[in-house]
Copies of this chain bind each other. A is one copy, B any other.
């Protein structure tokens, strides 16, 4: 592979305008709409196939390089360790996260076939590492040395971590109310953290002004179209880990809409290139207390803002920044929508842990809560096959794990008392 890649162009999802896919691409120059990266699928199909990809030793998101919007010379040549400056950037090992067949979880939910894709097992413990790893490569291609974003969550920590590994400076804008633990994680990665005395909107605005002013590379998933191209690699892995035989459904929790849109893009890419012979239906799971996109689908209307009433902070997005792509994805896939309560999310956290040894943050467990509910209400049939994506680790939010966990058995150090207590619980 030379410095050419398989990208054709970038198309506005709103007005259809076609743009050249430059590394510093943001939104549509004509209407401000979000862009979608298109590929030459025929050429991909003629140059590679599933068996060739499966034979690669690279176990990371970069394994799927033909489907990625990076210059051919931006990835290291495995044969000789040579490449461009971008290829030689040190990178965290993002992707190729664990994929488990979850028979015990399936039985408890009443479903025949269920798989867990655990994307909490990533360098900074969330699926967002895929987007941030892409941001770093595109920033390098654009000649930037500094990357910025505004966020307090997984996007910020993944940007800080991936950028630190590659030697980029980062400026991260957080509202003053951001949890100190999350700010600490950012600062440990050496990010310049600006705590803004104001609302999230104030914070976002100041970051946008500063990005304009200083020419920093913009890592904002709804403005930078490449980030979704990073996120879609989760679908490539799911397909390969299923040996390219897709399940009926794939469930994902939904906040600003970028992740579900990325998941769908990944499957569409594979289908277009002939790697899979059918597309799964998406299960879009939102929190009951914050479900503007699912409401729009359910009511067949435009989306309208909602309050953000849920413990699942990573998907508590009342004004989603990528509604068009997300709604398209759900509709195109003939998807279903499920809203879950905080209690159902906490129960799904316990269920994932107890049956499968997977510790998810609330937003990470929401998809599983949605699958359980969808089976319970008959929205999806019991003999369906489903993949549920865990988008982030429970270690990100121990406070909510404590809410979900309940209390241990408190006892003096006395075997007789232990025996009584265990037999009273019917345990021994």
Contact = CB atoms under 8 A, between A and B. Distances in A.
Identify the 6 closest CB pairs spanning chains A and B, nearest first. A190-B354, A165-B357, A193-B408, A202-B413, A188-B353, A395-B395
Most chain B CB within a 10 A radius of its CB, from A356, A394, A408: A408
A210 B164 contact: no
A396 to B, nearest CB: 7
B165 A209 contact: no
B194 A359 contact: no
Nearest to A196: B413
A289 B5 CA distance: 55
19 contacts: A92-B98, A123-B357, A123-B358, A124-B357, A161-B357, A164-B354, A184-B404, A184-B405, A188-B349, A188-B353, A190-B354, A193-B408, A194-B409, A195-B409, A196-B412, A197-B411, A198-B412, A206-B414, A395-B396
Contact of A194 (B357, B402, B411): B411
A342 B206 CA distance: 37
Nearest to A404: B188
Interface stretch (A175-183, A250-258, A266-274): A175-183
Interface string A157-201: 000111111110000001010001101111111101111111000
Interface in A392-428: 393-396, 398-399, 401-402, 404-406, 408-415, 418-419, 422, 427-428
Interface stretch (A10-18, A100-108, A313-321): A100-108
A137 interface: no
Contacts of A396: 395
Contact of A195 (B93, B205, B408): B408
Q: How many copies does the complex hold?
A: 2
Given A164-B353, A198-B412, A209-B415, A401 B185 contact: yes
B125 A104 contact: no
A174 B408 contact: yes
Interface string A83-112: 000000010110010101111100000000
Most chain B CB within a 10 A radius of its CB, from A96, A125, A186, A350: A125
B90 A101 contact: yes
A355 interface: yes
A347 to B, nearest CB: 11
A183 B405 contact: yes
Given A197-B410, A197-B411, A402-B180, A185 B419 contact: no
B161 A206 contact: no
A235 interface: no
Contact of A206 (B124, B183, B401, B413): B413
Nearest to A354: B190
A422 B206 CA distance: 14
Contacts of A353: 161, 164, 188-190
A118 B176 CA distance: 32
A59 interface: yes
A121 interface: yes
